[in-house]
Amino acid sequence: MKKLYIETYGCQMNFADSEVVASILKDTFDLTKTIEEADLILINTCSIRDKAEQRIHKRLTELEALKKHHHGLQIGLLGCMAERMKEELLATEPVLDFIAGPDAYRSLPELIEKSSEGETQFNVLLSTDETYDDVMPVRYDTNGISAYISIMRGCNNFCSYCVVPYTRGRERSRDPKTILAEAEDLIQKGFKEVTLLGQNVNSYHWQENGVTVSFARLMEMVAQLSPTLRVRFATSHPKDISDELLETMARYDNICKYIHLPVQSGSNQVLKKMNRVYTREYYLERVRKIRELMPDCAISTDIIAGFCGETLEDHLQTLSIMREVGYEYAYMFKYSERGGTMSAKRFKDDIPDEEKTRRLEEIIALQGELSHESNLRDVGKTFTILVEGVSKRSPEYLYGRNSQNKVIIFPKENHQIGEYIEVTVTRCTPATLFA
């Protein structure tokens, strides 16, 4: 059989998609981890920021050299960049044999076949109903413990800075029966943790024969499959973080007490321009509700520094909301203008790069303090952790994660990967807990 090598960039959704792709091609290609022996290389790309795209261009240049030495090697580009810049890629990246957007993966066998005859192929059609619901993903890069389950695709929110609604199309939910079957299959295979994935999971919505399944209900059904299966989810939009969802999370021990709740900015004026459709006050009220129902729940966030027209006062508001919430963790970015988005069309990208960097550095420094404070609060506490692997620093140590998604490192002794154990945190660094 021919050999397939997949390289994935970007978000968790892309990693889940690569598993779908591996499944679609499994009858014709065996997966390999050695790029030199591949007959087909697939690059699953991300367009979220300019930096992500630059990295891919660089990678494609490197692959050109490989292609010269390997007669018959095919290279295909998948994902968001395919969608966003098909024309440009076709014109400037002759190394590519074919291009396939996120909803076009079922056509991969055909694209591969046709492009092997010489002409570059593409399919970037977006669909309103494709969810790959009948494709059982091939878990090829796995610890055998944690897996993603994609439950919905696309996005209808149109945050003004964001390219996702254009690259991944409209929101659509997957049939809950197929989600439960996939979770059941993972349990049978010994997996201990699933993360329900979507660009905006709490917009999940399924209706059949007059019965509606909300995201909260779906998560409950997954949690009920087994008390020893941990359930996580990502990502939620603050506008949809309903009481029903929080109450369901609080009710089940095996639903992890961790919410990734991207705030983006702490300033109402900026939030409005970003089309986030919530205010600072609404967001803080949701955080209050989370704390009321789940005092031990960890919250992480995404923050963008230097959005169009962001004043110093707006920036200070971002720092103050970070302090007010006391995030456990944050993903922090400089605003990067994306062609075709609302903000690219309507607003000027007017914060100089040095100033964006300065603001981002302040945000990163503050988050460092907040994460450290949060870790210090955990010293002395006992957590149930799921053992996930061997510590990178020493084979004598293992690491696991607590419900709050924090990594804890502890001596190996007789413990096994995949076990649940109780550990007491004895010390911490700003980034890590030790037990």
Establish if 260 lies at the interface with ligand 5AD (CB under 6 A).
no
Q: Which does 266 bind (CB under 5 to 8 A by kind): ligand 5AD, ligand SF4, none?
A: none
DSSP 350-390: -S-HHHHHHHHHHHHHHHHHHHHHHHHHHTT-EEEEEEEEE
Among 21, 22, 24, 49, binds ligand 5AD (CB under 6 A): 49
The yes or no reply on residue 11 touching ligand SF4 (CB under 6 A) is: yes
Cα 390 from chain centroid (whole Å) = 23
For the bound state, the minimum distance from the C-beta of residue 180 to ligand 5AD, rounded and expressed in Å, comes to 28
Report CA dihedral (364, 369, 374, 378) to the nearest 10 degrees.
130
CA dist 221 and 371 (Å) reads: 33
| Window of 9-17, 214-222, 249-257, 409-417 that interacts with ligand SF4 by CB under 6 A | 9-17
24: Cα within 13 Å, side-chain hemisphere: 21
Name the phi and psi angles at 30, rounded to 5. -95, 140
Question: Should residue 79 be labelled a site residue for ligand SF4 when binding is judged by CB under 6 A?
Answer: yes
Question: How many Å apart are CA 390 and CA 396, to the nearest integer?
Answer: 8
φ and ψ at residue 304, rounded to 5 degrees: -110, 125
Q: Is residue 14 a contact residue for ligand SF4 (CB under 6 A)?
A: yes
Binding marks (x or -) toward ligand SF4, 276..295, rule CB under 6 A?
Answer: --------------------
Pick the closer one to ligand 5AD by CB: 184 or 349: 349
Nearest C-alpha neighbor of 314 from the set 266, 277, 361 = 266
The reply to whether 25 sits near ligand SF4 by the rule CB under 6 A is no
Q: Which is nearer to ligand SF4, 150 or 267 (CB)?
A: 150
Question: Which of 261, 265, 83, 52 has the alpha carbon at shortest distance from 164?
Answer: 83
335: contact with ligand 5AD by CB under 6 A:
yes
What is the smallest separation between the CB atom of 89 and ligand 5AD, expressed in angstroms? 20
Q: CB 235 → ligand 5AD: shortest distance, Å?
A: 7
Q: Give yes or no for residue 9 binding ligand 5AD (CB under 6 A).
A: no
262 binds, among ligand SF4, ligand 5AD, none (CB under 5 to 8 A by kind): ligand 5AD
Cβ-proximal residues to 92 (8 Å cutoff; 6+ apart), any chain: none
Single out the residue of 120, 142, 279, 336 in contact with ligand 5AD (rule: CB under 6 A). Answer: 336
Site string for ligand SF4, 157-196 (x = CB under 6 A): ------xx--xx----------------------------
Q: What letter does residue 20 receive in the DSSP assignment? A: H
Helix (H/G/I), strand (E/B), else coil: 330: strand
Which pair of tokens denotes residue 257?
A: 């007490």
How far apart, in Å, are the Cα atoms of 298 and each of 244, 253, 255, 287, 410?
18, 14, 13, 10, 21
Q: Which does 304 bind (CB under 5 to 8 A by kind): ligand SF4, ligand 5AD, none?
A: ligand 5AD
CB of residue 133 to ligand SF4, shortest distance in Å: 19
The CA-CA-CA angle for residues 379, 385, 390, to 5°, reads 100
CB 46 within 8 A of CB 55: no
Q: Dihedrals φ, ψ of 232, to 5°? A: -125, 170
CB of residue 54 to ligand 5AD, shortest distance in Å: 13
Interface with ligand 5AD includes 299 (CB under 6 A)? no
Both tokens of 294, joined, read: 């789940």
Q: Compute the least distance from the CB of residue 147 to ligand 5AD, in Å.
A: 21
231 binds ligand SF4 (CB under 6 A): no
Query: What are the residues whose beta carbons fall under 8 Å from the beta carbon of 23, sequence distance 6 or more?
Result: 135, 136, 137, 138
* Binds 264: which of ligand SF4, ligand 5AD, none (CB < 5-8 Å by kind): ligand 5AD
**153 beta partners:** 172
Minimal distance, residue 12 CB to ligand 5AD, in Å: 10
Residue 162 is a binding residue for ligand 5AD (CB under 6 A): yes
Binding-site member from 25, 40, 43, 46 for ligand SF4 (CB under 6 A): 46
Least distance in Å: CB of 136 to ligand SF4? 22
List residues binding ligand SF4 (CB under 6 A).
10-11, 13-14, 46-48, 79-80, 163-164, 167-168
List residues binding ligand 5AD (CB under 6 A).
48-49, 161-162, 262, 264, 302, 304, 333, 335-336, 338
